[in-house]
Amino acid sequence: MTASTGGQAWAAQILTRPVPRSLPAAGGEQPPFRAELSSRSHVTFVRSPGSDVGPRPVHTPLTGHNLFLDLDLDLGGSGVDGVTLRSLTADEIGTGPLLADGTSFAMPRSPDLILSPDLEPVAGRAVDAFEPLEIPQYEVLLLRGVPPQARPARDAYGRRLRPAPAGGTGRVVMAVVTDEPDVLHWRLIAEVSQGGRTWRLAWDLAVTARPVMRKFVPGGNGPVDVPVHERFPQHWVPRWPAASVPLPRGGDDPVRLPAVRQVGRVVAADGALTVTVDECEVPQDPDGFPGLPAGSRLWVYSSAGLASVGLTEVTAAVLRTGDAPQDPVHSELVDLIIGMYSAALHQGWRFAVGDVLGFPRPMVIGRAEVAGALIAHAAGDAAWFPAGWPPLLLVLLFEGEREVAGPHGRGRVLGSLAAAQGCFPYPWWFDPDRAPVVDLARYEGSTILGDVATAVHESVLVLDGPGEVAMIVDGGQRAAIAGIWQQVPPRFALIPRYTTMTGRVRVWTPGQSEPREVVAGRPCSRDQAGVHFLLFIQGGDAVTVDQLEDGYVVGLPERDWHAMGAHLRSGAGREWVSSGGTRLKLLFSGG
Amino acid sequence: MRLVRRVPAGRRAVTRLALGVSVVDEFLFDGLEWWELIDPADDDEQPAAALVAVRPGETIVRLVGLVAPGGRTDLAVQVLISLVDALRAGPARRLVAAPLAHGEELLQAAGFGPFDDGSFAVEL
């Protein structure tokens, strides 16, 4: 490959560049908080300093690059009040020709071949300074023929990928996407309020989608342009279709920032692992903290260092109650995180979303005896989860909850927790005074899943809606699901992942006779909800689909049973219509 | 000829001591099963050559520790190969190890390699 414009340079020792504000604050008054924007791109077009450029080189980043908006409190000790990011909007200013003297590349590792010894130290410095791009909280879409959008970043299923920012030092991470082959000049406008006032802050920026590489293929028909994300895969490509999600304008998606202060820090494993304890106080207007009254205090435990042993960093939060110990550091939660590190280091254990840890002896928090933990997304499903804390969440469980979460899936327990604590899709804190959401004695004699073999699989989603049930299998995992289907007994329950994409999930507790659901503050669907099991029974003369508890019982005659297996293997969708008229859809996503 | 058996309750302490096994992971997993590689001709005081752990109902086994004279990589590889052979007689489908703890070169010599899920393992 070669650079398509000018020469190339390994001069990207500084990947993150500050961007000066373009508009003064109203009335010339500076806001009482820090609001700084910086840009990070793994490749930029560079114009050298000169009479028409100025004393510094001008970098034009490529589509998919990061923007960081850092918001900070600076109240001179006069007290702490929440800063609210009211809105983010993008406006196009215009397009212009791309003028460049070269390209600047980020280097994650040393190149295999360096033609001149002079370039070795330069390449070395670039490698040392390499910084990965971050998964964004917001996408800024600047696409031709579509109005500019700044919207929450979502995956192909429409789930938020990363929480909106919160915390005393809030960082908003954005990805800027364009299809403009020349230079697109645009303006980012952030409305930030604090103490009853709102500041409108603006920055002028530029971005291009000009291919930075060309590929020459032997025997081909000349060079082929290579999109930036093929060569620099961390450059963002939106997966959720444009215009599917409305703009978060005018305070539509406000995020309250809680007051946070560090109250403890444990360094373990010869410095390789740090567990930080932050005290987080829920602000007066707790929009982002459903289920928690203002003034509530939480201790939030965050790891830093699990990544060095191949794990994803985790966090866990405990609501402070009257019985809470005064020393946050001497908590078994710290031991738990150190234990995870040790298990990965010494025995190669891995922990992923959906895993249930069962503690051999209870962990005592306040008066509560915690029997286990469920690993869930901290970001993603839980849009309000504070930024800057790790992406995996340890949801602490009582004994009955742990017993159910293992064989019957995390969805049933998380849905019940969401209903009990008024927080969709699930509370991210543990309240030591809360009642268990599973009464094991009542549960075991009530649920239809009690004597059924189950297969829990995170790559299956199940949604119900009026007259239909959709089973959506991740296409990349269909072979695994087909393999399971081949081995299951003629009566078994498939337990999908906790399906929250529509903002509605079914919930069930023993004794409940009518279907019930727990709903997000702003659900994406009026009538589709995630369900927690499909109990398949082989036999009978006709397909049956019956709602029961928080799932469905599906009867499949033998030929349909085998057809299901065949479709799972082939990846071709299929629809069955039950004798009662309910449709069972088998769909495949991605892969 | 070595074989793998469940660690008898009375031998747990001996096994742990001999292998210098960290016990902190027991904090995480209720019902973790421990299996040891032994020579049936040895007496009960002889520590196991290797120890593995498995969660109930799972087919992925974790290497916890192995014993070999200091510096004798060749003997450590032999122990690992014996362990893999012995495990193949059972229901386990994969043996996972930690390169940071046991040494990547040693593990590779015994047939271990990286898997898509990020683990370092050998199929059984």
Q: What share of chain A is helix, strand, coil (3-state, %, to 5)?
A: 15, 40, 45
Tokens found for residue A360: 């051999």
* Res A502 pLDDT > 90: no
Residues of A whose CB is below 8 A from B121? 348
Which residues, other chains included, contact B99 with Cβ-Cβ below 8 Å and sequence gap of 6+? A348, B107, B120
Which residues, other chains included, contact A166 with Cβ-Cβ below 8 Å and sequence gap of 6+? A255, A256, A257, A258, A288, A384, A385, A386, A387
Reported as a pLDDT band with limits 50, 70 and 90, residue A252 is very low
Residues of B whose CB is below 8 A from A336? 27-28
What confidence score (pLDDT) does residue A584 get? 96
Which residues, other chains included, contact A539 with Cβ-Cβ below 8 Å and sequence gap of 6+? A490, A555, A556, A557, A558
Highest mean pLDDT among A118-132, A210-224, A379-393, A482-496: A482-496
Burial of residue A55 (number of CB atoms within 10 Å: 0-12, 13-18, 19+): exposed
**Residue in B closest to A338 by C-alpha:** B24
Taking the Cβ of residue B27 and every Cβ of chain A, the question of whether any pair is shorter than 8 Å is answered with yes
Asked if A343's CB is within 8 angstroms of B24's CB, the reply is: yes
C-alpha distance across the termini of chain A, in Å: 28
Reported as a pLDDT band with limits 50, 70 and 90, residue A383 is very low
Q: Which of A438, A436, A415 is nearest to A427 (CA)?
A: A415
What confidence score (pLDDT) does residue A164 get? 59
Taking the Cβ of residue A356 and every Cβ of chain B, the question of whether any pair is shorter than 8 Å is answered with no
Q: At which residue do the structure tokens 């997304």 appear?
A: A377
Burial pattern A122-137, b for ≥16 Cβ within 10 A else e, equals: bbeebbeeeeebbbbb
More confident residue, A57 or A391: A57
What confidence score (pLDDT) does residue B24 get? 47
A430 close to A396: Cβ distance less than 8 angstroms? yes
Asked if A357's CB is within 8 angstroms of B28's CB, the reply is: yes
Sheet holding A255-256, edge to edge: A197-208, A183-194, A83-96, A255-256
C-alpha distance across the termini of chain B, in Å: 18
**Residue in B closest to A311 by C-alpha:** B118
Tokens found for residue A151: 């919207």
Q: Quick one: DSSP state of residue A78? A: S
Asked if A372's CB is within 8 angstroms of B30's CB, the reply is: yes
Q: Quick one: DSSP state of residue A154? A: B
- Distance between CA atoms of A223 and A216, rounded to whole angstroms? 5
- Distance between CA atoms of A91 and A184, rounded to whole angstroms? 11
A472 close to A534: Cβ distance less than 8 angstroms? no
Crossing angle of helices A558-570 and A478-487, in 10° steps, is 150
Highest mean pLDDT among A117-126, A155-164, A213-222, B10-19: A117-126
Paired strand residues for B120: B97, B114
Q: At which residue do the structure tokens 């059984």 appear?
A: B124
Tokens found for residue A438: 């599973």
What confidence score (pLDDT) does residue A205 get? 93
Q: What is the mean pLDDT of chain A?
A: 81
Q: What is the pTM of this model?
A: 0.64
Write down the H helix ranges in A158-262: 228-231
What confidence score (pLDDT) does residue A9 get? 43
Phi, psi dihedrals of residue A170, rounded to the nearest 5°: -95, 130
Residues of B whose CB is below 8 A from A358? 29-31
> Which of A345, A346, A364 best tests the B interface by mutation, with the highest count of B CBs <10 A?
A346
Write down the H helix ranges in A17-156: 119-128
- Distance between CA atoms of A397 and A414, rounded to whole angstroms? 10
User: What is the tens place of the pLDDT at every residue in B39-91?
Assistant: 888 877 777 888 888 887 788 999 988 887 776 888 889 999 999 999 998 88
R_g over Cα of chain B: 14
Phi, psi dihedrals of residue A106, rounded to the nearest 5°: -85, 150
- Distance between CA atoms of B112 and B123, rounded to whole angstroms? 8
Crossing angle of helices A399-408 and A410-421, in 10° steps, is 140
Task: Average the pLDDT over A270-284 and give the result.
Answer: 81
**A15-24, A128-137, A401-410, B75-84: segment of lowest average pLDDT:** A15-24
d(CA B74, nearest CA chain A) in Å: 21
3 state SS for A447-476: CHHHHCEEEECCCEEEEEECCEEEEEEEHH
Nearest neighbour of B25 by CB, restricted to A309, A310, A349: A349
Strands (E), A97-216: 102-105, 138-142, 149-152, 169-178, 183-194, 197-208, 213-215
Interface subset of B 94-113, CB within 8 angstroms of A: 96-101
* Res A269 pLDDT > 90: no
Percent of chain B with pLDDT over 90: 23
Paired strand residues for A536: A492, A554
Taking the Cβ of residue A359 and every Cβ of chain B, the question of whether any pair is shorter than 8 Å is answered with yes
Torsion, CA A482, CA A486, CA A489, CA A495, rounded to 10:
-10
* Res A535 pLDDT > 90: yes
* Res A404 pLDDT > 90: yes
Asked if B31's CB is within 8 angstroms of A357's CB, the reply is: no
* Chain A / chain B CB contacts < 8 angstroms: 71
Percent of chain A with pLDDT over 70: 81
Asked if A342's CB is within 8 angstroms of B22's CB, the reply is: yes
DSSP characters for A389-435? S-SEEEEEE-HHHHHHHHHH-HHHHHHHHHHHHT-SS--SEE-TTSP
- Distance between CA atoms of A486 and A565, rounded to whole angstroms? 7
Phi, psi dihedrals of residue A481, rounded to the nearest 5°: -65, -40
> Which of A342, A347, A363 best tests the B interface by mutation, with the highest count of B CBs <10 A?
A347
